Structure 1
Amino acid sequence: MTGISHQRLREVGPLQWPCPEGEPLDLSPKRLYTDCQFQTPDGRAKFAAYHSRGLAEPPDPEYPWVLTTGRLYGHWHTQTRTGRIDKIRQMHPAPFIEIHPRDAATLQIQPGDLVKVQSRRGYAQFPAKVTAAIAPGTVFVPMHWGELWAEQAEANALTHAESCPDSGQPELKACAVQLRSALS
């Protein structure tokens, strides 16, 4: 991605990943590793043991739930394209928060109730989807909805900027939050 810049996008238009810096677009491979060669001096993949340090922001008494964010089948990114496809809009017409029945009972939240989710960075509101498919103590919000598609339903407004010190990959998928009924 080092060869992708705002300037280059303006001049050339959409670019396909990978897009290394200084490499002409027509020489960029369409698929990685089809030749079984990796971008290392000897062409072999390098594997290393990694021991997780746990969540960058674990739950605590003030923010006792772990919010996870992710994708839904059919949607992609911020729905700039998928949000306009009727079949996909019917599959997932609105944002939601998945919450375990035990946690919902503790908070006196019923299916469909509006839940306010507060992190140390912001808040959002989502209708409750009470389901045993999520672990107790954890809630899930799809990351596709933003202010273009739903009011106060932007999952990424809740997450933090922590990232892996080795890869630089952001840890956008988990943070500590408070939950309460938006009616209270």
Structure 2
Amino acid sequence: MQDDIDTKALAYVQRREGRCLAKVNTNSNTYIWACKKGHQWEVLYKNMKQNYRWCNICPNVPERTCRYIFEDLLNKKFLLQKPKFLESLHLDGYNEELGLAFEYSGNQHYQIVPFFHPQGQINLDAQIWRNWKKRALCYREEVILITIPYCTVDLETFIKIALHAFGYLPIPT
């Protein structure tokens, strides 16, 4: 099996601590991939490499957890959205009725991560600028944006405190 897999594809998957399970057919470069947590998917190697893609499930777990917490606490939907006022940027969760949004910021928002920042500091600076722009545009539109850093240990407590601070939840007695 290993001999059939393009060596570049193998190097790519090994850098991400995953596995290439199989080539879908001999006429394409479509492979079945598995991340280190066992999630599996099928995609062309070049599409994954060009778009810096890896597992579509793993990076979204904390974001989805945040979404569930917001939705449970406020009994409202918080969908991934690209509102027009954000000029092509997106929000991880947004409820227009409440004027409330959240962003889960992975470590790539704070430090150089080669997978996200192939050009190093230049890419990190661009990420920081996009974060600042998003916050400024939300402020201009009177949308409260709660940013949850990747180092947050207790997501529910962090979100509850933020919601209390902005008046979305009553202060517990």
Structure showing greater Rg? 1
TM-score where L is the length of structure 1: 0.27
Bigger fraction of residues in helix: 2
Q: TM-score of the superposition, structure 2-length normalised?
A: 0.28
